[in-house]
Amino acid sequence: MTVKRHLSLACCLLSFMIAARSEAAVRPNIVWIVVDDMSANFSCYGEKTIQTPHVDRLATEGLRFTRAYATSPVCSTFRSAMITGMYQTSIGAHHHRSGRGEHRIVLPDGVRPIPAIFQESGYYTCMGSGLQNLDYRSQPFSSRTKGRLGKTDYNFDWDKSIYDSNDWSGRGKDQPFFMQVQLHGGKLRGATAAHYEAFDKQVKGVFDDITDPQSVKLPPYYPRDPVLLKDWSTYLDSVRITDHHVGLVMERLKQEGLLDNTLVVFFTDHGISHARGKQFLYDEGTHIPFIVRGPGIASGMTLTDLVEHIDIAALSLAAAGIDIPKQMQGQNILALGYQLKQAVFAARDRCGEAADRIRSVRSDRYLYIKNFYPQRPHLMPSGYKDGKLIIQRLRELHSEEKLDTLAEQVLFAPTRPAEELYLYGQDRWQTENLSDDPRHAVALKQQRARLEHWIQQTGDPGPETPEVYILETEDQMKSTRNKAAREIYRTNAELYKRWAREGK
């Protein structure tokens, strides 16, 4: 059934590409809507607490993938992979916010950011909010935000000239454009009670109400504590604001007569920023919404195929009639003859000062995770994570022994299993580790072999050397203006260096 759907879609896209190539003037515009820190909490993905009519309409008019995954669950590594169509591990860009100071990262020969490829093919390349009156936060432009490019966050050296401007309005007559609409998404809610209060005002200004914290349904390992409930309800309001912004962008395309010839790709950069979400390889961190709408795309279809976010680069180039670079690891998942993936992969590495190495592989039934530093706890010291009110509250509840057994097990165990295996389709929140269950021993062996092969095949370099870790963390501290935050980071970095020396 899935294969038949793919063939139907591929035929539609192929006929569109042939028409596009025969007449350059009708080459499609390509618009990516990229959202920060947001899981698939949209009505069309089953969210019940809120309604998201505009993203739902995208899904109704296009193609919705239900098993799309980020190859990395943190902003900069995700974007480094996204903009090249390559695994971040293959291009050396797998450590968060790296290569920006004394230590530099250069893309391998033949790997290029795709805006440069679009630009060479005659496309106008731009990146901003997608609107001319609201910025990436869905707030009126200020002197600081007006005219600025959208979020890049690439972990390698790149030339800013690959972007022509922050909006498609500057393009030439009949010139097609490649636009990235970069939205603040889950970051809108902030990390403190003061942030929640300020965002509530923005939400009320748009919808007249805010989401009731008591209406929220949390993952089973988070306690129904007032702090966590308020944070999650505020997060859901960030989903509502994002949905509203998407509707405004789509209406602008329609009013300007561009919608019928524009391929819109909607996705997020990873899951919700939470204790087991962002930065981790469970579904809460890596499962993302992914919707494609536009010419040649069948409407109202849902695909359950396993796909990776790096496929968006190849899909977009193909839709524009541009040859996909041979070494690009992302694939045109709508191509005629495309072979469905048997597995998808993800990696987490150093995030800030928190040095870690986790790898995962998902097949049709199983999620396998390998923790390379099992002697380190899940919630390791992190200036970024520990600065969030929700993490502070979880640590308080842990110290007061007020968390239940599941929360203690998955969030605060002093060590982690070296291997984790989940029936992720049945175990939605990945809480039952089957790696020691003899009934799943064959699957464990298969997934382990798949991951080892992927690591070798893709040239995964693994952890930084101690020397590079020092360079990167020193660079980060130099750019941190807040003295208290800088000292927390420094203390944590010293702990990680000690753990490394001790082999922990």
Domain ranges for the chain, please list them. 2-184+235-347
CA distance 486 to 465: 22
Mean pLDDT of all residues in 450-458: 98
The pLDDT of residue 24 is above 50: no
Half-sphere exposure of 165 (CA within 13 A, CB side): 12
* Contact call for residues 69 and 270 (beta carbons, < 8 A): no
What pLDDT shows up at residue 47?
98
pLDDT digits (tens, 9 = 90+) for 403-441: 999 999 999 999 999 999 999 989 999 999 999 999 999
Burial of 175 (0-12, 13-18, 19+ CB in 10 A): middle
The pLDDT of residue 2 is above 90: no
* Contact call for residues 37 and 272 (beta carbons, < 8 A): yes
* Contact call for residues 241 and 203 (beta carbons, < 8 A): yes
pLDDT digits (tens, 9 = 90+) for 213-232: 999 999 999 999 999 999 99
* Contact call for residues 424 and 283 (beta carbons, < 8 A): yes
Q: How confident is the model at residue 100 (pLDDT cuts 50, 70, 90)?
A: very high
Compute and round to an integer the Cα radius of gyration of the chain. Answer: 22
CA distance 274 to 392: 11
Per cent of the chain over pLDDT 70 is 95
What pLDDT shows up at residue 11?
46
pTM of the model: 0.95
pLDDT digits (tens, 9 = 90+) for 313-363: 999 999 999 999 999 999 999 999 999 999 999 999 999 999 999 999 999
The pLDDT of residue 380 is above 90: yes
Instruction: State both tokens at 110.
Output: 């033949």
CA distance 455 to 415: 24
The pLDDT of residue 197 is above 80: yes
Burial annotation 200-236 (CB, 10 A radius, 16+ → b, else e): bebbeeeeeebbebeebeebebbbebebbbbbbbbbb
* Contact call for residues 28 and 353 (beta carbons, < 8 A): no
Q: How many residues does the chain have?
A: 504
Mean pLDDT of all residues in 483-495: 96
Of 295, 208, 286, residue with least CA distance to 23 = 295
Instruction: State both tokens at 85.
Output: 């169509």
Q: Which residue type sits at 206?
A: V
39 C-beta neighbours (distance < 10 Å), count: 25
CA distance 463 to 433: 25
* Contact call for residues 30 and 319 (beta carbons, < 8 A): yes
Where would I find the H helices in 110-170? 114-120
The 3-class secondary structure across 300-327, one letter per residue, is: CEEEEEEEECCHHHHHHHHHCCCCCCCC
Instruction: State both tokens at 228.
Output: 């966590």
CATH number assigned to the domain with residue range 2-184+235-347, chosen from the 4 options 3.30.450.20, 3.40.50.300, 3.40.720.10, 3.30.70.20: 3.40.720.10
pLDDT digits (tens, 9 = 90+) for 36-72: 999 999 999 999 999 999 999 999 999 999 999 999 9
What pLDDT shows up at residue 17?
43
Sheet (strand 177-183) strand order = 124-128, 177-183, 29-35, 262-268, 287-293, 63-69, 301-308
Q: How confident is the model at residue 144 (pLDDT cuts 50, 70, 90)?
A: confident
Instruction: State both tokens at 22.
Output: 């025969």
The pLDDT of residue 389 is above 70: yes
The pLDDT of residue 18 is above 90: no
Of 50, 30, 60, residue with least CA distance to 242 = 50
DSSP 330: S
What pLDDT shows up at residue 110?
95
Mean pLDDT of all residues in 290-299: 96
Mean pLDDT of all residues in 80-108: 97
What pLDDT shows up at residue 26?
83
CA distance 489 to 354: 9
Instruction: State both tokens at 365.
Output: 């039934």
What pLDDT shows up at residue 147?
87
- Using CA atoms of 462, 349, 427, 414 in order, give the dihedral in degrees to the nearest 10: 100
CA distance 463 to 450: 20
Calculate the alpha carbon distances from 264 to 260, 280, 455 in Å.
Answer: 10, 28, 32
What pLDDT shows up at residue 7?
47
Q: What are phi and psi of 179, to 5 degrees?
A: -120, 135
Average pLDDT value over all residues in the chain = 94
DSSP 401: T
What pLDDT shows up at residue 5?
47
CA distance 322 to 325: 9
Per cent of the chain over pLDDT 90 is 93
Q: How confident is the model at residue 3 (pLDDT cuts 50, 70, 90)?
A: very low
Mean pLDDT of all residues in 10-28: 51
pLDDT digits (tens, 9 = 90+) for 5-15: 444 454 444 44
Instruction: State both tokens at 48.
Output: 């019940």
